[in-house]
Amino acid sequence: MIGAGPLKNAAQNLGFLQCGVSKATFLEEEAPRLERWLQQGNQGEMHYLENHFDKRLDPRLLVPGAQSVISLSFNYFPPTEKWSNGAFKIARYAYGEDYHLVLKEKLTQLVKELEPTYGTFEGRIFVDSAPVMEWQWAQKSGLGWQGKNTLLLSKQVGSYFFLAEIIGNWAIEPDGPTTDHCGTCTRCIDACPTQALSPYHLDASKCISYLTIELKDRIPDEFNGKSEGWVFGCDICQEVCPWNRFSQPHSEPLFASKESWEGVQWEEITEDVFQNLMKKSPIKRTKFEGFKRNVLWASKKST
């Protein structure tokens, strides 16, 4: 088993915030939690979360021969809050280019740089793209703890970061988990306008991020007047989290706010303009009709 020093140094040089390692094993404690969460219907219409149950819990089924799960975080906290569009808001992670593509390129480079040290890599890289329990592995690797808002929180950097994984044959000295530091705080729960949160539990079917991104049908009337202006994702539970006072601006040019968005009226946006503006943005995931639906929903008042 080789030490993680070269890995962590190389990851830092490529701009990653944190890097931790876990032994690739079965997530025994997570199995009943995941099963219960799914049985309660908290996934809403995200039926893909019901698939590959065993692979979610055991990375060796996802990547045969896996020895280690390497978890990495990458900062996306914007240098300034300069982007705005009247009363409409989008989650900070979507200010720049699609993070899937940006981080996959960095992970590919990281693996290539480390092969002389750790040997030929046999495995896969992941950026929110397969049945990998991201925050669970990141927590196990010491990157942070699951907060009451169910996001991974770090005492050093808050929660405005992406997670990514490298799962493969490298046998690297594992790290250990950190401890919970939410204490008695309930700001995230109190601030959620749709009451999607309870301590350490998310009913995704009520979450504004789910409603504006994952849900393909009409947004239920019960949520009218509760958007608080969000048309793609939501940052409310992060904005109120005390640990995010330690968030520092990112330095990744590809995550910079889009200058081309300024002056565009979302209420009047056409499909051609949408396709042109969003071609490298994660917002394209909603497709034009979904985005227009979100803008209309965010314009509604409470009934």
Res 258 pLDDT > 70: yes
Choice between 48 and 267, residue whose per-residue pLDDT is larger: 267
Alpha helices in the chain (DSSP H): 5-13, 30-39, 53-57, 59-62, 99-118, 134-140, 187-191, 208-209, 236-239, 271-278, 287-299
Average pLDDT over residues 228-242: 96
Helical pair 99-118 and 5-13, crossing angle rounded to 10 deg: 140
- Closest Cα to residue 43, out of 287, 219, 210, 283? 210
Amino acid at 102: V
Catalytic residue among 54, 58, 98, 128: 128
**Does 272 participate in catalysis according to the annotation?**
no
DSSP 166: E
**Domain limits, the chain:** 5-79+92-168, 187-299
Per-residue pLDDT, 171: 96
Both structure tokens of 42: 């908290």
Residue 302 CA: distances (Å) to CA of 91, 193, 221: 22, 12, 9
Q: Which among 300, 84, 81 has a CA at the least distance from the CA of 211?
A: 300
CA dihedral 261, 264, 267, 273 (to 10 degrees): -80
pLDDT at 22 over 80: yes
pLDDT category, 250, cuts 50, 70, 90?
very high
- pLDDT at 273 > cutoff 60: yes
Q: Does 31 or 171 have the greater pLDDT score?
A: 171
pLDDT class for 98, splitting at 50, 70, 90?
very high
Amino acid at position 204, single letter: A
Task: Identify the band that residue 303 occupies on the pLDDT scale cut at 50, 70 and 90.
Answer: very low
> Which distant-in-sequence residues (6+ apart) come within 8 Å of 28 by Cβ?
none
- Using pLDDT thresholds of 50, 70 and 90, give the confidence band for residue 39: confident
* Mean pLDDT estimate for the chain: 90
pLDDT band at 49 (very low <50, low <70, confident <90, very high): low
Distance from C-alpha of 161 to C-alpha of 126, rounded to nearest angstrom: 15
In whole angstroms, give the CA distance from residue 278 to residue 268: 15
Q: Is the pLDDT of residue 261 over 80?
A: no
- Give yes or no for a contact between 92 and 197, defined as CB atoms under 8 angstroms apart: no
Share of the chain above pLDDT 70, in %: 91
Dist. CA 264–CA 232, nearest whole Å: 16
Residue 83, pLDDT score:
59
pLDDT of residue 66: 96
Q: Is the pLDDT of residue 212 over 50?
A: yes
Q: What is the pLDDT of residues 54-96, one digit of tens each?
A: 788 899 999 999 999 999 999 999 987 655 666 789 999 999 9
Over residues 161-186, the mean pLDDT reads 96
